[in-house]
Amino acid sequence: MVAVGTIIWLSSELMFFAALFASYFTIRAVSEDMWATNTDLLNVPFALANTTILVLSSLTCQLGVFAAERGQVSRTGGLLQINKWGLREWFILTYVMGAVFIGGQALEYTELIHHGVTIPNDAYGTMFYLTTGFHGIHVTGGLFAFLFVLGRTYLARRFTHEQAVSAIVVSYYWHFVDVVWIGLFATIYIVK
């Protein structure tokens, strides 16, 4: 039941991001010169590297889910034996990758603000920060969800089916956030 509720909630989130995409394309259509000028300021190689980190975090998240489905909460071998990692190790790595992504976004924001791309400056800045900012807020929410799941694994006396379901639900959210970012990356950085 929790999984179904999560999917329904993610559907509403999809509508929210669809509205942001629609706004982005609408304002872009009436301000083509502004877009041409401002997109030249984007650091596409840096954004691609940051995107790669986020997309790979979806893989590490799913490996954590597979471990949870096996009932393996922690590693059964050495730290460098990744084939023996459990839910905790995979989710900690996913958390770190998500935090690196957020740090990369903050660095990019700093660089763009230095170049004069701000929310009050023009429509491009407004749409750039709204779309990427709301996505960043969702990634941060996912990071808190990982901490919640990890905390439960450390506090519980034994790993239960409910904890595995929590890990699966968090993975649904994380995969959703990654897919949305792929769309945003393509829209903002590639389609010029």
**Coarse DSSP helix, strand, coil percentages of the chain, rounded to the nearest 5 percent:** 80, 0, 20
Give me the CATH number covering residue 93.
1.20.120.80
Q: Which of 49-58, 66-75, 84-93 has the lowest mean pLDDT?
A: 66-75
Q: What pLDDT score was predicted for residue 112? A: 95
Tokens representing 74 are: 């922690």
**pLDDT-derived band of residue 188, with 50, 70 and 90 as boundaries?**
very high
Domain of residue 100: give its range. 2-190
Cβ atoms of residues 107 and 155 within 8 Å: no
Sign of CA dihedral 57, 59, 61, 64: negative
Q: Which one has a higher pLDDT value, 16 or 129?
A: 129
**pLDDT-derived band of residue 1, with 50, 70 and 90 as boundaries?**
low
Q: What is the pTM of this model?
A: 0.90
Q: Please provide the average confidence, as pLDDT, over all residues in the chain.
A: 90
pLDDT tens digit sequence for 169-187 = 999 999 999 999 999 999 9
**pLDDT-derived band of residue 2, with 50, 70 and 90 as boundaries?**
low
Q: What pLDDT score was predicted for residue 14? A: 85
Q: Which residue, among 41, 54, 58, has the nearest Cα to 188 in the 3D structure?
A: 41
Give, rounded to a whole angstrom, the gap between the first and last alpha carbons of the chain: 42
CA gap 85, 105 in Å, rounded: 29
Output the CA–CA distances (angstroms, integers) from residue 54 to 23, 48, 87, 144, 160, in the order listed: 24, 10, 18, 16, 28
At residue 26, does pLDDT exceed 80?
yes
Count of domains forming the chain: 1
Cβ atoms of residues 35 and 28 within 8 Å: yes
